[in-house]
Every structure is written in C-alpha cells, then in structure tokens.
Amino acid sequence: MKLYDELLWRGLIKDVSHEEKARQILNDEKINFYCGFDPTGESLTVGHLVQIVRMMLLQRYGHTPIVLIGGATGLIGDPRQTSERKLLTLEESLQNAEKIKKQLSLFINPEHSIFVNNYDWIGKIGMISYLRDYGKFFSINYMLAKDTVQKRMDVGISYTEFSYMLIQAIDFLHLYQENDCKLQFGGSDQWGNITTGLELIRKVEGDQNQAVGMSSPLLLKADGSKFGKSESGALWLDADLTSAYEIYQYFLNASDEDVPNYLKSLTLLPVEEIEVLIEKSIKNPELREAQKALAAEVVLLVHGQDALDQALKVSKALFSGDFTEINQKGFQMLTRTLESVKIQEDTSVLDLLISTNLASSKREGRTFIQSGAISLNNQKITDTEYQLSKADTLFESYVILRRGKKKYAMILYI
C-alpha cells in the first residue's frame, strides 16, 4: 500500500487541494511538509496525536517534517466558534513554545526534521509591509466567506482574530520559499487557513507552484461527543498533568465503535495488525483485545515502555488491591490519578476518610472500619481510633487508603 492510500485507509484525509498532485508528491517524491502547533497552553493534548502520528507516518516514508511552533500565531489566537481567546503575553507564548517544542521532539526526532518558530519571521514584519506585501492579495469578501469567520458573525470577531488566517498564510509562503515546503496539513478546522496559504502562494509564485494543502477529519467519538476529554478534563501529553495510567484507562474503556478509528489514526501499528485487531473486536468484543492493544500503543507512543509497564501494574493493583509490585514512579502516577490528601503529622483514619470523601461523616467512617471495609496499603484497619503515622507509608510518603474493593484515595505524608 502506498502512502497516500494508507492515509486514506487510516481516515487521515478529509480535504485535499490537488489530489493528483498530492498523490504524486507523497508516493513518488521525498518532500518537506509542515504542520503547526500554537502554544496556547503549556502542553499538547491527546487530540494533537492525530497530526503527530501523521507527521511520524510521513517521516517513516522518507519525507521531512517541518514542525512549526506558533510563537507568533499563538499571540493572535485562532478564532474559536463562540468567543475570543484570552491573549497571551509574549513571555507566556515563548515559554509555552519552548515546552511544546521539547514535547514534540519526543515524537519527531530533531536530527531528521526541521523545527521552526514563526515568531522568528512574523515578528519582523512591520505594519506597512504586512498591509502592502500580504494584505493587498485578499479581499474582505474572501476573508468573510471563511467558515471560522462565518461562525463568529453573530457574536462578533475582533480584527486580531479575523487576521489570523493571513498570519498563517504568511507561514506557508515563508516555508515554501525558504524551506522548499510543498505540503501543509492540519485538522479540518484549519482548512480555511490552509487554503488561504495556498491562495497567497498562488498569487505570489504563480499558478504553476507546487504547494498542496490537506486536512484530516476532527476525531469524534461514535456518539458525536468530543474526543480526548475525561471526567477530570483534557487529557494532556505532559505526564505531570495527566498520568500514563489515566491515558491507558481512557483508551481501555473506548467503545467497540470507536476502537477502529482510534487504532488507525492514533497508532503506527501496521495495517495488517490493525485489521486483525478489528476482526477480533468484532468476533469477541468481550475480550477487549483491541482496546488493550490501543491503550498500550498510545501510552507507549506518548510516555515510553517504563511508563506503560507502570500503568499496567497500577491497573492490576487497583483491581486486585495488591500494591507490592508498584515502584515509586508508580505511586507518583497514582498520586495524580486518585483523590489525594497531604498530611504533615499523624492523623486519624476517621479524619482521612472524610477528607478523601470515602466517608460522609465520622459515624459512617466508624461503621466502615468496624465492618472491615477499610484498609491501609492492603492491611485492614479495625481500630476506629487508629492514627496513621510515618510507619504506615511506602517509600516514606505514600499510603493507599481503600474502602471496599473499588474506592481508593492516596495519602501523602510530607
């Protein structure tokens, strides 16, 4: 299967500006291509994996990624459907840009790719140059017709966000001229910005230019809800914000309807292996083999083998109640996953049951203890006056407080 056909099979192509040209350059040439990431936060989310995996896939086929960090576009803000974004300061944008660059370099090897920050050239363009050299190529009617603008017409849109498409268009032109970049891709919500870049290249370089734009569908759950959101909020790629265990559980609990799309667009598993997993999911859905493979592959991609091993051990421990195989990193993972309470001195288990929401009152807590439902690090507590001390901790800090078989909390002795 050639690259373009594999992208189609994986569901990674929605819009394409010139299909035959795209097929040719992806299947028969070795090109430079780019995808941009605005540093609107300190970390990317699992939602960004669609574009990251696509970059990695193209790189496997011998193409060179240009990873664009939007230090400049992040200062402007891509228009959202409902309201204006909060503007970042220059310091915030550049700090976030460095963090996201470091994050992306874990997926895209900097030695075999090109990392750029668009602030390096956008920041040098003066107002007169912006209006004369770029703004003159676009009519207001052209810009108003863009879907992102149309969706904001009822609530209003600032000139700042209205001009975002031109800033991104300048990026594509700059990379086309300076880095021989022939392809830009992004999510389907970026299609209007991508085509604006193609139009700018056409007007500057002429109709015979080699630039191509491509988008991928936004990844949604089978029920139409947004992908990549857990009960506690966004699933971040930063392990300090979302643990490997949380990511593992999110994908382990994916529906049978969602698994095929997730395997195709979020992993680099070979086509044949994915087809086998999908077939197993259809024949024996109760075994959840596809979900297990999906969860393992995503955690392996994002955090590596050690984190995957710990996530599997944490999952097993929370199911069995036995935490003897968990190392210190595993307990750190649990701390970010479970309801956690910090203490600095010996504290009664009754008070801890209430502060961790495992009991609604001391009376209820006593009932739980007397019935044998409460344990500390898998040791049952039957004394209602029991005081948790440093001696109860593992690795001098951690205590797993459990009620029954499924309710857990983490006590951190600091």
pLDDT band at 188 (very low <50, low <70, confident <90, very high): very high
Q: What domains are there in the chain, each with its CATH number? A: 3-216 (3.40.50.620), 229-320 (1.10.240.10), 339-413 (3.10.290.10)
List the Cα angle 203/12/172 in 5-degree steps: 25
Helix (H) or strand (E) holding 399: strand 398-403
Q: State the average pLDDT over residues 7-35.
A: 97
Distance of alpha carbon 11 from its chain centroid, rounded?
18
Name the DSSP class of 220: B
pLDDT digits (tens, 9 = 90+) for 244-267: 999 999 999 999 999 999 999 999
Quote the tokens at residue 37: 């990431």
Q: Name residue 394's beta-bridge partners.
A: 398
pLDDT digits (tens, 9 = 90+) for 325-339: 888 988 988 888 888
393: pLDDT strictly greater than 80: yes
Q: How far is CA 399 from CA 330, 349, 362, 373, in A?
A: 13, 11, 20, 16
pLDDT of the residue at 115 = 97
Is this structure's pTM higher than 0.85? yes
pLDDT of the residue at 378 = 86
Distance of alpha carbon 101 from its chain centroid, rounded?
14
pLDDT digits (tens, 9 = 90+) for 70-122: 999 988 887 776 667 788 898 999 899 999 999 999 999 888 999 999 999 99
In SS3 terms, 336-384 reads as CCCEEEEECCCEEHHHHHHHCCCCCCHHHHHHHHHCCCEEECCEECCCC
